[in-house]
Amino acid sequence: MELGSRIKKYRNELNMSQETLAEKIYVTRQTISNWENDKNYPDINSLIRMSELFNVSVDTLLKGDVEVIQKIVKEDDIREFGKMGNILSILFIIMIITPIPLVKLLGWPGFGIWGIIAVISFTYAIIVEKKKEELDISTFKEISAFMEGKQLDEIETAREEGKRPYQKVFLAIAAGAIMLIVSFILWHLIP
């Protein structure tokens, strides 16, 4: 029996409509329908809520469906890594565009504020790097494949592993160059 069938079985045992189940676990009725028809899978939080509602363990709900478990975990990893990437992008954009305005407007205290922004950005960048190591992704191609839910074959993986050190150096140089260019432009634009 597939996960979708189990969800439907437990829902029917409680004489619960899809809409009622959806309300109780904070999703839409369409989401429940998609799960029951195996079009997609619930995330970890939804599985936990359903297991509590149905009064069964998550293991019982999944019943050893290893493939489904792997997909759910991978989807959660993709979602989490996507959020981390968005936060890091915003932090670096703020870090790039704020030093000159802060220094010109506030003087040395502005430089201190920018330093705090930089420390926060670099600390978060370290957290993202640790997550990338955990997921064994580093190069642009590896990250792109991961975000699409795909895997590189052995040859592509070997090629990408060879690129890892060079890409990090290139990205550091590119980020520094962008920051210098933006700083130069802002220095001349802000009175």
Q: Which whole-number Å values give the CA distances from 37 to 31, 41, 180, 184, in the listed order?
A: 10, 10, 53, 56
Radius of gyration of the CA atoms of the chain, in A: 23
User: What pLDDT is recorded for position 62?
Assistant: 77
What's the total number of domains in the chain? 2
Sign of CA dihedral 170, 172, 176, 178: positive
Rounded-to-integer distance, Cα 137 and Cα 125, Å: 15
Q: Which domain holds residue 182?
A: 75-189
Q: Which residue has the tokens 């978060």?
A: 124
Q: Are residues 84 and 44 in the same domain?
A: no
Note the pTM of the prediction, 2 decimals. Answer: 0.55
Residue 70 counted as domain residue: no
H-only helix segments in the chain: 3-13, 18-25, 29-36, 44-54, 58-62, 66-97, 99-106, 108-135, 140-147, 154-189
Q: Are 11 and 51 in contact (CB under 8 A)?
A: no
Q: Which whole-number Å values give the CA distances from 84 to 77, 138, 140, 164, in the listed order?
A: 10, 14, 15, 20
Q: Are residues 88 and 60 in the same domain?
A: no
Q: Are residues 103 and 167 in the same domain?
A: yes
What is the CATH number for 35? 1.10.260.40
Q: Tens digit of pLDDT per residue, the chain (191 long)?
A: 478 888 899 999 999 999 999 999 999 999 999 888 888 888 878 888 998 999 988 877 777 565 666 666 677 778 888 899 899 999 989 988 888 888 888 988 998 999 999 999 989 999 998 888 887 777 777 777 777 777 767 677 777 777 767 777 777 788 888 888 888 888 888 77
Q: Are residues 59 and 80 in the same domain?
A: no
User: What pLDDT is recorded for position 100?
Assistant: 86
